[in-house]
Structures are given as C-alpha cells and as structure tokens.
Chain A
Amino acid sequence: MTIRVIKPGLSTTVQDRGRFGYAHLGISPAGAADGLSLRIANLLIGNDEYAPALEMALLGATLEFDKPAVVAISGAGCECKVGSYRIVANSAIRVEAGSVLQCGSTTDGARCYLAIRGGVDVGSVMGSASTDIRGRFGGYEGRRLQAGDVLHLGYANQAQPRRLRTGALEEIRERRAIRVTSGAQRDWFSDESYAKFLDASYTVSEQSDRAGLRLKGEAISTRETKQLLTDGIPLGAVQVPQDGQPIILFVDQQTTGGYPKIASVIAADMHRIGQLRPRDEVRFSGVSIPDAIDALREQERWLTTVWQD
C-alpha cells in the first residue's frame, strides 16, 4: 500500500508528537503545529493518537492511493475531494484503490492534518517521525513533500474508528485571546510595558513559519540595558528583540536564544498558535500558572468527551 504525491501543496510534512530529549544537542521538538488536530484525526480512524500524519499548510496536497485506505482530515477547514466528490472533515473516510484525494486551500486556519489508517511510515530519527526542516532529517528525507514522492504506511492502528459528537469541535474554534503566563525575563519589562503587551492587538507577519511567528504592532521596550546571556527557550515563549516587535517561538524554534522572553503561551493554547495565518490578528491575555494547568487538564478531559458513545 503506497501513496504517491501528485502535487505537494505549499508545505506538506510528516509530523507526529515531536522529538523530545535532545534540546541539549540543539535539536528542536518539531512535531505537529496543532497537536490537538493531529490527535483527533488519528483517533477518528483508530490510530495511536500521535501516529505520524501529513501536516498541510495553507494549500493541501493531491495524493493518489494505490490500494483502499481509511483516512481522516482534521484541523483547519479545507475543501477536499476524492475524484469529484467532496469529502467531509473530522470523519473516517474510505478511499478506494486508484483514487485521487485532492486537498484545497485552508479556509479558517493555517494547517490541516491528513491521518491515514496505519500511519505514515518514515521510520524514526531520535525517537520521532517528525520532519526537522532546518536540520534536514526526520520525516520524509528531512524535507517537505515533493511531487513524485511515494509514502508507505505503517501499523499504528490498534483501535476501532470513532465518530465525533455533532458540534463537538465548535468549542475549540471559539476565537479568544491567546493565554500567556509570565516569561522568564518578565522582570526585564516594567508593569506598564507588560500591560501594554496584553492590551495590544498584533498582526501575524508574512515572515512567520513553524520556527517563529513574528508579530507586528505595539513595540514593547525593556527597562534593562544589559544584554541577556543566551539561555534556553521553552516552547511558545514570546521573545522581544531590540525592535520591540514580539516573536512567538514555536515547534521548529531554536533551542536557545539571547532575547528577553516577556511571556509564554500556555500549553492548552499551543494548538491555536499552529492555526495562525499571516495577517491574522492576535491578542494575549495573562493567566496564572495554576489556571494554565487547569486549562490543560480541562482540555484533556474535553478530548475524552467529544466522541459518540
């Protein structure tokens, strides 16, 4: 059973949960930008929730299946067709041998996930199938998919396909501010600067990718004149370089950096960062660490309640 790439889309990569335990070697986690959608797509077809799947950014891929397969699409809205039939997202779909699945542009977010029963088999590098674009390893030959690539499937299915309750996913689509906790260098910024950061509305710049989302808007200044000694960067840290325009460091981030970090996106909102598109508006709201962890627990509980029966 193989899948042939006819058109690769804009930036289609193999991703799973990500690569952990190698930050001290300078290796970023990579992994799905919207891990929640990856899990839902996999669970719909009975795969392990973090089985390797295709992450498609802004414009999806066109793929030919040589044998029957079961797939699910989740994440950003995206018009997908098999032949001339439109297929629905967030549902297990059977694709017949020889058919062509065509994924269009995303309509309400940046990335959608195509999970295939069995999972995409690209082997594992340092414990993960995720593509490390900058390091050129993991995933499919360490790069974005290209026309003519042939993907093989694995055996990551252990469970029965599932169905979502009607309207179950509407809750996570709700637009609200991205929640943040104080960053490691919060005290490099005055209370006024921090308040300004939380009040401001930013626009996601075109120069944004999986390594970092560059924001444009209210400039934030530090009260420190000293230079930060390069230190570790947690996932979702918001750093403020000299020009005062914040950058959200994301899954392909550098593991260390030298700019002060004013805030950190909470784990429960990380999937929403993965759905931000250039020109989207971003606002932040400050929460405490206990509230952030409660939100994560609540999200995990919610994920168990979205299924029928």
Chain B
Amino acid sequence: MSFLFAGYLAVWTIIFLYLVYLARSQKQVNARLQEISDKLRASSDQ
C-alpha cells in the first residue's frame, strides 16, 4: 500500500509542480502585456 501511495503522490506532485510553473509563466506574460499597455497609454498621452 505504501508503494501505491508513493506512486500516486509522485504523479500529483509532478503535475502540481508543472501547474505552478505554468502559473509563473502566465504571470510573466501578464506583466509583459501590462508593460505594453502602459507604454501605449504613455505614447497616446504624448
């Protein structure tokens, strides 16, 4: 039973870690888009 638990734990841990990585990548993309939006706003103000 302990090996089965270890197996399932490993599967969900790896998937969870990948989801964390995806969330961090998404944050970076959002920050980049925000930067572009700020630049566009600044240029339209000028």
Chain A complexes with chain B: no
